[in-house]
Structure 1
Amino acid sequence: MAASAASAARPEVSFRRDLSEWRIVLVAWRLLVLQASHPVVAAGMGEHSTYRSHPWRRIEHTLDSGRRLFQADQEQLWREVQRLDRAHRRIRGTTEDGRAYDAHDPATRAWVLLTLFEAVAAMRELSGEPYTADELDSLYKEFAEITAVFGLPAGELPATAAELPGYLRRTTAERLEFTGAARHLLYDMLHEAPCPRRLRFLGPAGWRVLRSVVARVLTELTVADLPAVYRERFGLVRTRRGALLSRVLHRGGRAVLSRLPDRFRYRAPGVRPPSRPRRMPRQDTRPPRLDRFFREVLDQTGDGLLTARDLQAMAHNVCWQLELSEEGEARVYAAFEAWWEQLRATMDTDGDGRISRDEYVAATLAGCDRDPAYLEGGLLPALRAVFAAADADGDGLLDFAEYRVLFGGRRVHPAELSHGFRRLDTDGDGVITVAEFVRGFIDFFTARAASAPGTQLLGRP
Structure 2
Amino acid sequence: MVDQTSVSFKRDLSEWRIALVAWRLLILQAADPAVGAGMHEHSTYRAHPWRRIEHTLGSGRRLFYQDADTLRREVARLNRAHKRIRGEMPDGRAYDARDPATRVWVLLTLFECVAAMRRLGGDPYDADQLELAYREFGEAIAAFELPEEELPKTAADLPGYFARYTAEKLEFTEAARYLLEDVLREAPRPRRLWFLGDAGWRVLRVVVAAAIRELTVADLPPTVRERLGLVRTRQGALLSVLLHRGAGIVVPRLPERMRYRSPEERVAPPRRLRPQRRDARGSRVDRFFREVLDQTGDGVITVHDLRAMAHNVCWQLELDEAAEARVYAAFDGWWEQLRAAMDADGDGEVSREEFVAATLAGCDRDGAYLERGLLPALRAVFTAADTDGSGFLEFDEYRAVFGGPRVHPAELSHGFRQLDTDGDGRITVEEFVGGFTEFFTARADSTSGAQLLGRP
TM superposition shift of 1:225: 0.8
Structure 2 equivalent of residue 320 of structure 1: 315
The letter for the 2-side match of 1:222 is T
The letter for the 1-side match of 2:166 is T
Task: Report percent identity of matched pairs.
Answer: 71
Alpha-carbon contact 2:170-2:227 (below 8 Å) kept: no
Alpha-carbon contact 1:286-1:444 (below 8 Å) kept: no
Structure 1 equivalent of residue 54 of structure 2: 60
**Stretch of structure 1 that moved more, 228-237 or 41-50:** 228-237
Give the alignment of 1:28-427 within 5 angstroms: 28-268=22-262, 269-277=265-273, 292-357=287-352, 360=355, 363-364=358-359, 367=362, 375-426=370-421
Compared CA separation, residues 187 and 287, structure 1 to 2 (3 A): closer
Alpha-carbon contact 2:394-2:425 (below 8 Å) kept: yes
TM superposition shift of 1:28: 0.7
TM superposition shift of 1:300: 0.9
TM superposition shift of 1:76: 0.8
**Stretch of structure 1 that moved more, 124-133 or 267-276:** 267-276
Structure 1: distance between partners of 2:95 and 2:342: 34
Q: What is the aligned counterpart of 2:7 among 3, 13, 21?
A: 13
Alpha-carbon contact 1:443-1:455 (below 8 Å) kept: no
Structure 1: distance between partners of 2:167 and 2:384: 44
Q: Which deviations, in whole Å up to 9, do the C-alpha atoms of 1:390-444 show, x marking residues without a partner?
A: 2334343333343233222333333312321243344555543323322322454
Structure 2: distance between partners of 1:449 and 1:101: 39
Computed over aligned residues only, the root mean square deviation of the Cα atoms, in angstroms, reads: 3.3
Alpha-carbon contact 2:337-2:369 (below 8 Å) kept: no
Alpha-carbon contact 1:447-1:455 (below 8 Å) kept: no
**Stretch of structure 1 that moved more, 159-168 or 403-412:** 403-412
Q: Which deviations, in whole Å up to 9, do the C-alpha atoms of 1:263-309 show, x marking residues without a partner?
A: 3332244445424445668x799777655543332111224433333
Compared CA separation, residues 439 and 232, structure 1 to 2 (3 A): closer
The letter for the 2-side match of 1:127 is G
Structure 2: distance between partners of 1:85 and 1:423: 35
Structure 1: distance between partners of 2:33 and 2:300: 28
TM superposition shift of 1:226: 0.9
Alpha-carbon contact 2:342-2:363 (below 8 Å) kept: no
Give the 3-state SS of the residue equivalent to 2:150 in structure 1.
Answer: coil
Alpha-carbon contact 1:400-1:430 (below 8 Å) kept: yes
**Stretch of structure 1 that moved more, 165-174 or 140-149:** 165-174
Q: Which deviations, in whole Å up to 9, do the C-alpha atoms of 1:164-201 show, x marking residues without a partner?
A: 22221222122222323222322333233333333355
The letter for the 1-side match of 2:432 is F
Alpha-carbon contact 1:91-1:102 (below 8 Å) kept: yes
Q: Which deviations, in whole Å up to 9, do the C-alpha atoms of 1:136-164 show, x marking residues without a partner?
A: 22221111111111111112111122222
Alpha-carbon contact 2:64-2:140 (below 8 Å) kept: yes
Give the 3-state SS of the residue equivalent to 2:149 in structure 1.
Answer: coil
Unmatched 5+ residue regions in structure 2? Answer: none
Alpha-carbon contact 2:167-2:227 (below 8 Å) kept: yes
Q: Which deviations, in whole Å up to 9, do the C-alpha atoms of 1:303-341 show, x marking residues without a partner?
A: 443333322222233223332333322222221122223
Normalised to the residue count of structure 2, the TM-score between the two structures is 0.87
**Stretch of structure 1 that moved more, 89-98 or 211-220:** 89-98
TM superposition shift of 1:82: 0.7
**Stretch of structure 1 that moved more, 391-400 or 352-361:** 352-361
Structure 2: distance between partners of 1:134 and 1:46: 39
Q: What is the aligned counterpart of 1:458 among 450, 453, 456?
A: 450
**Stretch of structure 1 that moved more, 268-277 or 106-115:** 268-277
The letter for the 1-side match of 2:411 is E
**Stretch of structure 1 that moved more, 18-27 or 321-330:** 321-330
TM superposition shift of 1:33: 0.7
Q: Which deviations, in whole Å up to 9, do the C-alpha atoms of 1:41-78 show, x marking residues without a partner?
A: 12212222232333333322222221211111111111
Give the 3-state SS of the residue equivalent to 1:155 in structure 2.
Answer: helix
**Stretch of structure 1 that moved more, 258-267 or 85-94:** 258-267
- The number of equivalent residue pairs is 451
Alpha-carbon contact 1:286-1:446 (below 8 Å) kept: no
Structure 2: distance between partners of 1:417 and 1:136: 44
Give the 3-state SS of the residue equivalent to 1:101 in structure 2.
Answer: strand
TM superposition shift of 1:35: 0.7
Compared CA separation, residues 198 and 141, structure 1 to 2 (3 A): same
The letter for the 1-side match of 2:412 is L
Compared CA separation, residues 147 and 190, structure 1 to 2 (3 A): same
Compared CA separation, residues 313 and 387, structure 1 to 2 (3 A): same
TM superposition shift of 1:21: 1.8
Compared CA separation, residues 285 and 390, structure 1 to 2 (3 A): farther
Alpha-carbon contact 1:224-1:242 (below 8 Å) kept: yes
TM superposition shift of 1:108: 0.8
Compared CA separation, residues 457 and 330, structure 1 to 2 (3 A): closer
The letter for the 1-side match of 2:321 is E
**Stretch of structure 1 that moved more, 131-140 or 192-201:** 192-201
Compared CA separation, residues 19 and 422, structure 1 to 2 (3 A): farther
Compared CA separation, residues 239 and 447, structure 1 to 2 (3 A): closer
Compared CA separation, residues 152 and 122, structure 1 to 2 (3 A): same
Structure 1 equivalent of residue 434 of structure 2: 439
